[in-house]
Structure 1
Amino acid sequence: MRALSIQQPWVDRILSGEKNIKYRSRRIKDMGPLLLHASKTVVPENFDGMEQADADRLPYGALVGVVDVVDVVPVEGEDLYEWRLAHPRRFAMPIPYKGAASIFKVPMADIKMYLRPLLV
């Protein structure tokens, strides 16, 4: 299954439904489900205005949910694409997993046993 690693707190905001657009420098050809991986990278500026306790509770270095890519639109005047996201599904428990740059593949055999009981 396709996956994308995203820094916190952005991945958390996608899964909570607060954020439904992701800007990327590349187009994605296939619409549909996309696993979301919470990156291990921590950028302090991403957490401006957040309590430290809230930032500390977020998962890092794990698959945390699934979202559907429903459309991709070029951003006028930019070398960017707006990925439109819908139907976020958060896993009840993060699945520790090593992320990668860009879209990466996660073999279903690696996560299949986790998927059913982890979707909330």
Structure 2
Amino acid sequence: MKALTVQQPWAWAIFHGKRVENRTQLWSYRGPLAIHAGARWSDRGEDSFLVRSAFREHNRWWDGRTTLPRDPFEMGAIIGVVDLVDVHPDGKRCCPPWGESGYVEHGGRERRRITHLVLENPRALAEPIPCKGALGLWNVPTDIVETINAAVIP
């Protein structure tokens, strides 16, 4: 099984309405994809109107004006599985509202071109599986694949 490490709170959002992951690479892989919540927090994700709206919708206790509480966000673990059904370059905002056309990454000056990873059928795990992540598309260790398969309800 392939996996993708996604910083929080973006990883959480994938299981709460986000159906496009924005990357800079084109991949030929299609199929099941484990979503690994990385160990780093994304300030850009925390500031995202879409993430904040989704969090408020699923957590009515949050007032929406303060910073996102970090407690509900698992980090350093596989949190679920999706189906990667398409990968394509951005086509003039073809995948609203989550599909981006470009962004400046980690304080740089260069605006990066974006590839959309189209995700379907999100299946969150009841219990996150601690696991070390990696950059890019990576292979989940066999023992963890078995745990994921046993835990995911199709």
TM-score of Structure 1 vs Structure 2, range by shorter chain: 0.7 to 0.9
Matched, 1:82 2:116: yes
Matched, 1:104 2:119: no
SS in 1 for 2:13: helix
1:46 maps to 45
2:19 maps to 20
How far does the alpha carbon of each residue in 1:15-62 deviate from its partner, in whole angstroms, 9 at most, with x for none? Answer: 12x100111111120211101000110133422355557432110000
Name stretches of at least 5 consecutive residues in structure 2 with no aligned partner. 53-63, 93-100, 102-112
Matched, 1:70 2:85: yes
TM-score (norm 2): 0.68
Name the Cα RMSD after superposition.
Answer: 2.1
Name stretches of at least 5 consecutive residues in structure 1 with no aligned partner. none
Aligned length in residues: 118
How far does the alpha carbon of each residue in 1:64-91 deviate from its partner, in whole angstroms, 9 at most, with x for none? Answer: 1000011112124763211111000000
What's the % identity of the aligned pairs? 33
Question: Matches of 1:42 and 1:80 in 2, distance apart?
Answer: 20
TM-score (norm 1): 0.85
